[in-house]
Amino acid sequence: MKEETPSMEEWQRLYDVAREFKKLGCWDWMCDGDLFGVQNPVDGEIGYCCIMGNLGKMFAIAVYPGEEGLGGYLKMQSGEVGEADPDILHYQKCLMASFEDRDYLEKEDLQLIKRLGLKFRGRNEWPMFRSYRPGYVPWFLTRKEALFLITAIEQSMDVALRFREDEDLLTSPDGNKYLIRVADKIEDRILWEDRWIKPVPAEKARVFDDQVDEVRIQRIKREAVQTDAILEIEMAFSPTPVWEKKERPYFPRMLVIMDHRSMLVLDFYVFEISSDVSEFRNHFLSFLEKNKALPREILVKKDETFQLIAPIASLLKIHVRLSAELVAFEELRRSMFDSSRMRNG
């Protein structure tokens, strides 16, 4: 179902607020580690706000909604996810207002600016609004996202001005809470106040069940021969998105099976973004059935992949090991991203 888009009046308000925010120049005294929150008065979700521009490279405000948004932000801030990580885009769930050069805007942005009768000129002066969701291409805002971004920017300016006068404003009294701007509705008015709120505990790593097709596994045990091979198996997002008419483009997930020693690709399979555990396991079993050979060891990098493979490998007496680096797989990914960048100019 197509999501509702902002009205022209709502777009006008968003651009007005963004221009006010840009003029204020909060990044002159704040950095991207000065995190605080704004509660969405519509649904109560907290958006964690980060103001960027202190280093003079990118001028923006990002709003990371909920537990998932905060978790992605913290992974990037801690260095767990580096700027060079091909999957960095897929750790981000946020709404962003950034100020770009004209060349960075899409034709839809420029058409909207023209319809609104707005004028911008110069470097880092053109507002651009985007929604980031893991697994999807950064995209234009829905009405719900635009309205919350307006609210978040307004409240961020309030916090920023007070932070300029008091650098301890965002320092938690007990070290594990964030200052949150909370909306209280009184009749037809919304009143804002500061509260110190501890984030909801981060969701534990996803745990998959151990259900596998034991009939197929027993058949593989009878027909396949044991080898000394070491395989690298991993899942990742494809560097090339899928564009479906009138739908938000997404990056499909790919399953890659490689020979660790020769670095040859033995199998490559692309999943829909909504695919479940059974499709992954069925394809892995099909690979073993087709090749009629069992490796001595399987190397994986992600805990998610380990959980998916482990029940099958255990029954087939294959050792599965988590490895900090998959040399063959990572070389393949680098070449795929290089090719994708060349195709896209």
DSSP letter for each residue of 167-197: TTTT--SSSS-EEEEEEEEETTEEEEEEEEE
Half-sphere exposure of 176 (CA within 13 A, CB side): 5
pLDDT for residue 341? 64
pLDDT for residue 236? 87
Give the pairing type, strands 297-300 and 126-132: unpaired
| Distance set, CA 301 to CA 1, 281, 284 (Å) | 36, 17, 17
CA distance 236 to 266: 16
pLDDT for residue 185? 81
* Element holding 270 (H helix, E strand): strand 265-271
Q: Give the alpha-carbon dihedral of 239, 240, 243, 248, to 10 degrees.
A: 10
Q: At what angle do helices 8-24 and 107-116 cross, to 10 degrees?
A: 100
pLDDT for residue 41? 93
Q: Is the pTM of this model over 0.95?
A: no
CA nearest neighbour of 97 among 46, 136, 170, 148: 148
DSSP letter for 105, please. S
Q: At what angle do helices 277-291 and 214-223 cross, to 10 degrees?
A: 20
Give the pairing type, strands 265-271 and 253-259: antiparallel
Instruction: Report domain extents, the chain.
Output: 8-197, 214-343
pLDDT for residue 295? 97
In the chain, count of helices (H) and strands (E)? 8, 14
- pLDDT one digit per residue (tens) for the chain, 345 residues: 568 999 999 999 999 999 999 999 999 999 999 999 999 999 999 999 999 999 988 999 999 999 999 998 998 888 776 666 767 778 889 999 999 999 999 999 999 999 999 999 999 999 999 999 988 999 999 999 999 999 999 999 999 999 999 999 999 988 889 999 999 888 778 899 999 999 976 555 455 667 888 999 999 999 999 999 999 999 888 888 988 777 889 998 899 999 999 999 999 999 887 767 788 899 999 999 999 999 999 999 988 899 999 999 999 999 999 999 999 999 998 888 777 665 655
pLDDT for residue 76? 85
CA nearest neighbour of 281 among 220, 205, 204: 220
CATH code for residues 214-343: 3.30.420.10
